[in-house]
Amino acid sequence: MLSPSKHLDLDRSVLRVSSIVLDALRKRRVLSHDRIVKLIRDRVGDDGDVVIAPALSFLYLLGRLEYHVKNDSFEYLES
């Protein structure tokens, strides 16, 4: 588990990465996993790789996205 500490870089936090993914999904509706990884690497840097899976899990638990195994893609769900 990624827990907060006083040394946490907020640019590489689960909430920041989740907001980047959610913003991209709102615009495109469906994104592949590879495209999400590339987006996070471009915006956050290579250190963002560690946070991608927890960020996607966080959004899934909130009911904001759905994973499609067949296409290896994520779809934005409206609330």
Per-residue pLDDT of the chain (79 residues; tens, 9 = 90+): 566 677 777 788 899 999 999 999 999 999 999 999 999 999 999 888 899 999 999 999 999 999 999 999 999 998 7
Q: CATH number, domain at 64?
A: 1.10.10.10
In a domain, 36, yes or no: yes
In a domain, 55, yes or no: yes
In a domain, 57, yes or no: yes
- Which range marks the domain in which residue 21 is found? 11-76
In a domain, 68, yes or no: yes
Q: Please state, in angstroms and as integers, the Cα–Cα distance from residue 16 to each residue in 29, 45, 49, 76, following that order.
A: 19, 13, 13, 17
- Report percent pLDDT > 90 for the chain: 76
Please count the structural domains in the chain.
1
Q: Please state, in angstroms and as integers, the Cα–Cα distance from residue 46 to each residue in 60, 72, 78, following that order.
A: 23, 21, 30
